[in-house]
Amino acid sequence: MRTRRLVVVPSEPIEAYEAAGYGSWLARYYNPGGYFHEVYALSPLESGERSAHGMVVMGVAERDLAGVLERLRPDVVRAYGGYWPADYAVAGRVAGIPVVVSVHDSSAGSIHESVGLADVVLCVSRVVMDRVLALGCAPAGVRLLPNRVDTKRFAPRRPAPEAAAHGRAFPPGKHILHVGRKSHEKNIDTVVRALGHLPPDYSCIFIGRDAPDPYRLLARREGVAGRCFWIESVPNDSLPIWYNWCDCLCVPSRWEGFGIVFLEAAACGTPIVTSDIAPMNEYLEDGVSARLVSAYEDPVRVADAIRSVCEDPGLRTILTEGGVRAARPFDVAAVDACEVGIYADVIEGRLGQPPDPAAVRAWRSKRSRGRWPTWLRAAARLLHAEESR
């Protein structure tokens, strides 16, 4: 049997995922189903060479990438992210080695021109796919590949034995959970304002990296500072406990590429309040598997949705059962099988079309090859121990 070889370009250093508690997950994530016999993680954010998680992890500058690929001769190069990972893979592409780029974010700044110079583009949701197609990518080379959820770990476990510890850390009453970066797209400000329209026994726990100072100030102005609790990060392995413990997950995002937290919570049977926008309304249905709020900038509407899922037992039962059903198609095994099928099609020439070499040369001429800003390396090295959720 011919050795199948894969090169991956992770968007962050492998040590950042290790620190966040994803070590046991990496081997399967980068090599679904063990389809490839050899996997190499190449990145300018790494240094040296080591073996980890079924891969050889190597620090490779962009100017050296083509030479390393010529030596390894992988069947596929897979870049995780439509921004610098795509630039890196396309800049170092070698004739005869297909480049597959996966795009995980729908924001314009996260989809670079290099995405259009990949052989195949994988999109985590239809809203991302629409953005990619609008940039001019050939539809024949664009495929949907959603994120995956381990429904064995993320599963209903109420009451969770570990929940008692959480309960002692916060006031009694109803507990709202918000999981995500403390950034504009996660709409934390509306959740803080919504607390002012909820009974005084409602509190919210915000889990996610970045400084909460602007939101702390807002909470003081709104008179709800004593009901807001800020946690920078928790180990990924503990997230199922948090989902099972809380009364609802409320993340009324202004935009998302996929929104993995919603499916993690849904798989745990946690009632969900979120925005009635894509991609959430691609896999969640209002009144069936979540409460989807059209006026997600309106704190009164968000508060009403929170009260309904926290105080209506019948609705909670419907959303719990519906959420578990909604998460099943995204189980690890199902998405792994889909990804393996895509790789097989690429290797056998059934999927993908190499870009026009002249277009690649024109793109390369517009940027400085092999020059990585020092802030990019520094930012990657200083990542907090939490996935960019």
Query: What are the structural domains, with CATH classification, of the chain?
Result: 5-147+332-381 (3.40.50.2000), 163-330 (3.40.50.2000)
Q: Are 21 and 240 in contact (CB under 8 A)?
A: no
Q: Is the pLDDT of residue 370 over 50?
A: no
Percent of the chain surpassing pLDDT 90? 80
Note the pLDDT of residue 46: 96
For the record, the structure tokens of 205 come out as 């726990």
**pLDDT higher at 22 or 332:** 332
Distance of CA 281 to the CA centre of its chain: 17
Hey, what long-range contacts does 11-16 have (CB within 8 A, 24 or more apart)?
Answer: 11/80, 11/81, 11/83, 11/84, 11/85, 12/45, 12/380, 12/383, 12/388, 13/43, 13/45, 13/46, 13/380, 13/381, 13/383, 14/41, 14/46, 14/52, 14/53, 14/55, 14/57, 16/380, 16/383, 16/385
Note the pLDDT of residue 234: 87
The residues that bridge with 176 in the sheet, in sequence order, are: 204, 248
**pLDDT higher at 1 or 130:** 130
Note the pLDDT of residue 160: 61
Name the pairing type of β-strands 55-59 and 202-207: unpaired
Q: Are 85 and 64 in contact (CB under 8 A)?
A: no
Q: Is the pLDDT of residue 296 over 60?
A: yes
Nearest CA to 9 out of 39, 48, 32 is that of: 39
Cα angle 218-222-225, degrees, rounded to a multiple of 5: 75
In whole angstroms, what is the distance from residue 250 CA to residue 253 CA?
Answer: 9
Name the pairing type of β-strands 55-59 and 49-52: antiparallel
Note the pLDDT of residue 162: 67
User: Which range, of 23-37, 129-143, 146-160, averages the lowest pLDDT?
Assistant: 146-160
Confidence of residue 384 (pLDDT cuts 50, 70, 90): very low
Over residues 118-146, the mean pLDDT reads 95
Instruction: Calculate helix-pair angle for 299-311, 188-195, nearest 10 degrees.
Output: 70
Confidence of residue 202 (pLDDT cuts 50, 70, 90): very high
Q: Is the pLDDT of residue 317 over 50?
A: yes
Note the pLDDT of residue 24: 82
Over residues 20-48, the mean pLDDT reads 93
- Residue 2 burial by Cβ neighbours in a 10 Å radius (0-12, 13-18, 19+): exposed
Confidence of residue 372 (pLDDT cuts 50, 70, 90): very low
For the record, the structure tokens of 325 come out as 């059903």
Q: Is the pLDDT of residue 83 over 80?
A: yes
Q: Is the pLDDT of residue 211 over 80?
A: no
Note the pLDDT of residue 163: 66
Confidence of residue 237 (pLDDT cuts 50, 70, 90): confident
Confidence of residue 14 (pLDDT cuts 50, 70, 90): very high
Q: What is the pTM of this model?
A: 0.87
Confidence of residue 383 (pLDDT cuts 50, 70, 90): very low
In whole angstroms, what is the distance from residue 206 CA to residue 214 CA?
Answer: 13
User: Which range, of 137-141, 211-215, 305-309, averages the lowest pLDDT?
Assistant: 211-215
In whole angstroms, what is the distance from residue 386 CA to residue 19 CA?
Answer: 8
Confidence of residue 159 (pLDDT cuts 50, 70, 90): low
Over residues 272-288, the mean pLDDT reads 97
For the record, the structure tokens of 49 come out as 């060479």
Q: Is the pLDDT of residue 368 over 70?
A: no
